[in-house]
Amino acid sequence: MGKSLQSNQKASESRSMLLNIGPQHPAMHGIVRIVTELDGETVVGADVEIGYLHRAFEKMCEQGPYNNAIPYTDRLNYVSPLINNVGYCLAVEKLMGLKTTERCQYIRVIMSEISRITDHLTCVGASAMELGAFTVFLYMIKAREMLYELIENVTGARLTISYARVGGLKSDLPEDFEEKTLKFLTEIRGILKEVEGLLNKNRIFVDRLKGVGVISKQDALAYGITGPFLRSTGSEYDVRKDQPYLVYDRLDFDIPVGETGDNLDRYYVRMEEMEQSMRIVEQAFKQMPEGPVCVDMDGRVIPAAYMVDEAKMGQTRDFKNKIVEADPTLEGSSGPAHDVVYSDDKRVALPAKENTYGNIEGLMNHFKLVMHGHGLRPPKGEAYFAVEGANGELGFYVVSDGTDRPYRVRVRPPCFPIVAALPKLLIGDQLADIIPTFGSVNMIGGELDR
């Protein structure tokens, strides 16, 4: 009896406790579950479970024509959807051997970098809030609202924007966009300075992040980690520099890197990346070629609704060379703007609205691109294209069988390898460190489990 009691005591001394964190935990976004094994408050084991938000993105892309996948890409990383749009379109364009106009490439860069800033603002702001720095969250969201206003002016939406098209863009930039953007970037720089003043020498914030969630450069590379997470370890890999696309090779910007690969370095890297993105946007505006001025010879502007009604009755004789007064959703998609942001390849580019409604050639072109069994028809083959997403390398692999819809679409999401490495990051740290470490991953559910 005495021996049994003694063995029970020894067993109780070595027992650990299992604790579920998520999916209901607010910091787990409702879609990730971490089963932690605790020795006191030290994490000695962690099992990360995903699958609570499987979106079937890849199979959905195979159900319809190529451009129909654009709204689905919005919902991968829905905090920086413009980068997803551009990455997918570049993959299909590579498959077709298409090159977009120069102005289109600059606009894609500008909108992608604005999107990257919104992503980093959200990540840093939310992570700081989870550590008690609620003021920082409010400052960051204030800055993000400015950028959302810009995005809405261009695309007509704030979050699920569906702006890019295979071969171009939905529309050109509004006339006052550059002036408004540069003004907002100046204000955002001031906000980031305030945030740095609140956090960079804040003893509580620094102590909670320094030396926590550490991963070495070798381990990060072995897991296939990219983006700010990898750069925090000292590796300079960035798709924009190492495999330049669009016009990034014409722009001067730095790649911020850390040293220790901890949560604090990841914070510093993201803060500096926002400054670099603002530099890129400012340079792109200076280099971007001008589009034609939208002036009609007779000074006549036709409301879009009137044009549609007249076209239904066949009254299109006076429409040639006229300007359409479009609603905000279609603004920038009229003929003069259309030509500078869309490919002139009729295999992919929808005609300008006044051509669709105003002449038979435009109507036929539109019909051939949108009707079932027609549409974009890349040659048989496959293509992979990678862009630098907010979380790292975002790659799209597209296979064509020669029909009007993809045979196969596969996406390489940047936050998936990081979540795979999460147990390695958590083990050895404290229970309270799980939240800041998970926040530094910037996990986006729609991208994580496609």
Instruction: Please report the pLDDT score of residue 298 as a whole number.
Output: 43
How is domain 57-290+376-428 classified at the CATH fold level?
A: Cytochrome-c3 Hydrogenase; chain B (1.10.645)
CATH 1.10.645.10 occupies which residues in the chain? 57-290+376-428
Instruction: Please report the pLDDT score of residue 53 as a whole number.
Output: 86
Predicted TM-score (pTM) of this structure:
0.85
Instruction: Please report the pLDDT score of residue 293 as a whole number.
Output: 27
Instruction: Please report the pLDDT score of residue 241 as a whole number.
Output: 95
Instruction: Please report the pLDDT score of residue 22 as a whole number.
Output: 79
Per-residue three-class SS string for the chain: CHHHHHHHHHHHHCCCEEEEECCCCHHHCCCCEEEEEEECCEEEEEEEECCCCCCCHHHHHCCCCHHHHHHHHHCCCCCCHHHHHHHHHHHHHHHHCCCCCHHHHHHHHHHHHHHHHHHHHHHHHHHHHHCCCHHHHHHHHHHHHHHHHHHHHHHCCCCCCCCEECCEECCCCCCCHHHHHHHHHHHHHHHHHHHHHHHCCCHHHHHHHCCCCCCCHHHHHHHCCCHHHHHCCCCCCCHHHHCCCCCHHHCCCCCCCCCCCCHHHHHHHHHHHHHHHHHHHHHHHHHCCCCCCCCCCCCCEEEHHHHHHHHHCCCCCCCCCCEEECCCCCCCCCHHHHHHHECCCCCCCCCCHHHHHHCHHHHHHHHHHHCCCCCCCCCCEEEEEEEEECCEEEEEEEEECCCCCCCEEEEECCHHHHHHCHHHHHCCCEHHHHHHHHHHHCCCHHHHCC
Instruction: Please report the pLDDT score of residue 12 as a whole number.
Output: 54
Instruction: Please report the pLDDT score of residue 364 as a whole number.
Output: 84
pLDDT, averaged per 10 consecutive residues of the chain (450 residues), comes to 55 77 86 92 93 89 91 92 95 91 92 97 94 94 96 91 90 90 96 96 94 94 95 95 95 95 96 97 92 36 63 63 59 68 78 76 81 82 96 96 93 94 94 93 87
